[in-house]
Structure 1
Amino acid sequence: MTQGQPILHVESLSKRFGGLVAVNNVSFQVLEHEVMGLIGPNGSGKSTTMNMISGALKPSSGAIILKGQDLTTKKPHEIARSGVSRTFQLVRILPELTVLENVIAGGVFGHARRWGKEVETFATELLARVGLEGQSGKPVSALTYIDQKRLELARALASEPEVLLLDEWLAGLNPSELTVGIDLIASLRQEGRTIILVEHVMDAIRSLCDRCLVINSGARIAEGTPEDVLSDPEVIRAYLGDG
Structure 2
Amino acid sequence: MTQNVVLTLQGVTKRFGGLVAVNAMDFSVQEGQVLGLIGPNGSGKSTTLNLISGALPATSGSIALRGTDITTMPARDITRRGISRTFQLVRLLPSMDVLENVMAGAVFGHRRRWGTDARSYAMGLIDRVGLGGKAHARISQLTYIDTKRVELARVLASDPKLLLLDEWLAGLNPTELEIGIDLIKSLRDDGRTIILVEHVMDAIRSLCDTCVVMSSGTKIAEGPPSSVLTDPEVVRAYLGDDDA
Question: Smaller-chain TM-score range?
Answer: over 0.9
Amino acid at match of 2:84: S
1:28-64 superposed Cα distances (whole Å, 9 cap, x missing partner)? 0000000000000000000000011011111111111
- Structure 2: tracts of 5 or more residues without a match: none
1:160: Cα distance to partner?
Answer: 0.5
- Partner in structure 2 of residue 143 of structure 1: 142
Matches within 5 A, 1:157-172: 157-172=156-171
Matches within 5 A, 1:172-191: 172-191=171-190
Matches within 5 A, 1:64-83: 64-83=63-82
Identity score, percent = 64
1:3: Cα distance to partner?
Answer: 3.5
Secondary structure, in 3 states, of the residue corresponding to 1:128?
Answer: helix
- Partner in structure 1 of residue 211 of structure 2: 212
Q: Alignment length, in residue pairs?
A: 242
1:54-84 superposed Cα distances (whole Å, 9 cap, x missing partner)? 1111111111100122111111111110100
1:135-178 superposed Cα distances (whole Å, 9 cap, x missing partner)? 11111111110000000000000000000000000000000000
- Partner in structure 2 of residue 85 of structure 1: 84
**Aligned equivalents of 2:211, 2:39: Cα separation in 1:** 10
- Structure 1: tracts of 5 or more residues without a match: none
- Partner in structure 1 of residue 153 of structure 2: 154
Matches within 5 A, 1:76-115: 76-115=75-114
**Aligned equivalents of 2:233, 2:69: Cα separation in 1:** 33
Secondary structure, in 3 states, of the residue corresponding to 1:131?
Answer: coil
- Partner in structure 2 of residue 240 of structure 1: 239
- Partner in structure 2 of residue 55 of structure 1: 54
Query: TM-score, normalised on structure 1?
Result: 0.98
CA RMSD of aligned residues (A): 0.6
167-176 or 89-98: bigger deviation: 89-98
Amino acid at match of 2:124: E
179-188 or 59-68: bigger deviation: 59-68
Matches within 5 A, 1:6-25: 6-25=5-24
**Aligned equivalents of 1:20, 1:196: Cα separation in 2:** 25
1:196-240 superposed Cα distances (whole Å, 9 cap, x missing partner)? 000000000000000000010000000000001001000000001
1:4: Cα distance to partner?
Answer: 2.6
- Partner in structure 1 of residue 38 of structure 2: 39
**Aligned equivalents of 2:202, 2:2: Cα separation in 1:** 22
- Partner in structure 1 of residue 115 of structure 2: 116
**Aligned equivalents of 2:97, 2:84: Cα separation in 1:** 20
**Aligned equivalents of 1:198, 1:37: Cα separation in 2:** 6
Secondary structure, in 3 states, of the residue corresponding to 2:113?
Answer: coil
Secondary structure, in 3 states, of the residue corresponding to 2:26?
Answer: strand
Query: TM-score, normalised on structure 2?
Result: 0.98
Amino acid at match of 1:78: D
